[in-house]
């Protein structure tokens, strides 16, 4: 029997096959890695654009909503606050806080959704609500109130001297202070029922940029005390510029009145929109309720003549120089801020009309008892 020689079987790959396989695998891996890196960068870039865009949208939406209420239910002469004693740098215009530049916007309005009846004791320090009615909402110490006599013959501005629970039927008060009178009208102490005073909430809000945990935030401070107080709500983060300009009341073409910003050229009736402009000045002549519409007092730089706001806000991203090349940044109004060179920058401006600042107009929004056309503002403040 003849034995066949053993067959020769190929074992493994040749060097050429291995080299070609490695080369193909490397190309595929490089392609996948490159695509992953590019996708990650694109996602990071999109995130760095989307976050400041979201912050701007939220911030501008809040600004437009709350500033439109400025002057609601209060005398236009005290609707805006331009005192600087408690402000950093004692300035309302272009305060430089290191990583940010900020204007200061402070205003008052009456809460259109809160109305109670009550009376004060003889000292004016204790408010008791009528018919054992409760506040209905917890109010913190320092919350401002306006108490209005029946028939609106007089009023008194005060603050809570202690926290008040939602179930409270009384509250302790102290006088609000400047710019309101500290005298307590006697008509607020006259009794209950039809003689009871109207009790309304007064909101005083300050908007400015503050560092929170090292990050500049646009915040809404509740109360006109020290801006470092703890009663605030963050509105938008990474804000490096907040600018406010004031659109003043303009005369009709038939009246010859000088613009309050005439010193910076011919004047455009907008204060705070360039470096040489003054801000509204509460010490100049102010209009009253019965001041004629053609009077020069209605065209001065007094805050009572503010008719609109021009607001701009600049926000930067957290990182990503790729997105920085597609930034939108401009020095709005009289800003001294600069763009972040290694960040995505986005600046948005808006204009807000203030319908409650004309002293002869009715409060907006008009609230009334259903079916009673002449009973406006019986609901809410």
Q: How far is CA 55 from CA 2, 42, 157, 242, in A?
A: 91, 20, 35, 13
Of 274, 264, 268, residue with least CA distance to 243: 274
Residue 301 sits in the same domain as residue 356: yes
Q: Domain for residue 230, yes or no? A: no
pLDDT in tens, 193-252: 778 889 999 999 999 999 998 899 999 999 876 555 778 999 999 998 999 999 999 998
Residues 207 and 250 in one domain: no
pLDDT of residue 55: 85
What CATH number is attached to the domain comprising 178?
Answer: 2.40.30
Q: Is residue 58 part of a domain?
A: no
Q: What is the pTM of this model?
A: 0.81
User: Looking at the structure, do residues 112 and 173 belong to the same domain, yes or no?
Assistant: yes
Quick one: 205 and 77 in the same domain? yes
Do 253 and 346 lie in one domain? The reply is yes
Give yes or no for residue 275 having a pLDDT over 60. yes
Contact of 172 with 160, CB cutoff 8 Å: yes
The span from the CA of 52 to the CA of 237, in Å, is 8
Answer yes or no: is 126 within a domain: yes
**Position 378 in a domain:** no
| Domain match, 332 and 263 both | yes
Total domains in the chain come to 2
Domain assignment present for 97: no
Q: What is the pLDDT of residues 142-187, one digit of tens each?
A: 999 999 988 888 899 999 999 999 999 999 999 999 899 999 999 8
Tell me, yes or no, whether 291 and 205 share the same domain: no
Could you tell me whether strands 101-102 and 239-248 are parallel, antiparallel, or unpaired per DSSP bridges?
parallel
Bigger pLDDT: 47 vs 24: 24
Both 247 and 131 in a single domain?
no
Any domain includes 229: no
Is 130 within 8 Å of 119 (Cβ atoms)? yes
82 and 179 belong to one structural domain: yes
151/258 same-domain check = no
- For residue 237, the SS3 value is strand
pLDDT beyond 80 at 322: no
Q: Judge if 86 and 200 occupy the same domain.
A: yes
139 and 254 belong to one structural domain: no
* Domain with 207 in it: 73-90+107-211
Does 85 map to a domain?
Answer: yes
User: Has residue 54 been placed in a domain?
Assistant: no
């Amino acid at each position: 029997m003849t034995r066949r020689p053993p067959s020769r079987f190929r074992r493994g790959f040749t060097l050429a096959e291995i080299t070609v396989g490695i080369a193909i695998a490397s190309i595929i891996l490089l392609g996948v890695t490159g695509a992953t890196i590019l996708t990650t960068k694109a996602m990071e870039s999109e995130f760095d654009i989307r976050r400041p865009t979201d912050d701007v949208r939220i911030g501008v939406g809040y600004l437009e909503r709350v500033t439109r209420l400025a002057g609601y239910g209060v005398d236009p002469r005290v609707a805006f606050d331009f005192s600087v004693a408690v402000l950093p740098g004692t300035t309302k215009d272009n305060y430089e806080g290191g990583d940010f530049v900020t204007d200061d916007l402070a205003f008052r309005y009456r809460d259109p959704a809160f109305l109670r009846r009550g009376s004060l004791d003889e000292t004016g320090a204790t408010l008791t609500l009528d018919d054992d009615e409760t506040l209905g909402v917890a109010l913190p110490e320092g919350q401002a109130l306006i108490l209005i006599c029946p028939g609106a013959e007089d009023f008194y501005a005060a603050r809570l001297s202690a926290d008040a629970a939602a179930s409270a039927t009384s509250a302790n008060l102290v006088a609000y202070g400047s710019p309101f009178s500290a005298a307590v009208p006697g008509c607020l102490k006259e009794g209950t029922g039809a003689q009871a005073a109207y009790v309304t909430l007064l909101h005083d809000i300050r908007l400015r940029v503050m560092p929170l945990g090292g990050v500049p935030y646009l915040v809404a401070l509740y109360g006109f005390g020290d801006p470092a107080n703890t009663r605030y709500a963050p509105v938008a983060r990474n804000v490096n510029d907040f600018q406010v300009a004031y659109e003043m009341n303009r005369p009709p073409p038939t009246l010859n009145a000088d613009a309050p910003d005439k010193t910076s050229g011919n004047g455009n009736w907008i204060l705070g929109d360039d470096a040489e402009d003054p801000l509204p000045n509460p010490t100049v002549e102010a209009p009253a309720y019965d001041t004629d519409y053609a009077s020069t007092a209605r065209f001065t730089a007094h805050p009572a003549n503010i008719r609109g706001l021009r607001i701009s806000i600049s926000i930067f991203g957290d990182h990503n120089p790729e997105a920085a090349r597609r930034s939108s940044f401009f020095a709005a109004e009289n800003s001294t801020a600069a763009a972040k060179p290694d960040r995505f920058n986005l600046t948005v401006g808006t204009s807000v009309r203030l319908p409650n600042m004309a002293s002869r107009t009715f409060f907006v929004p008009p609230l009334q008892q259903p079916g009673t056309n002449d009973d406006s503002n019986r609901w809410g403040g």
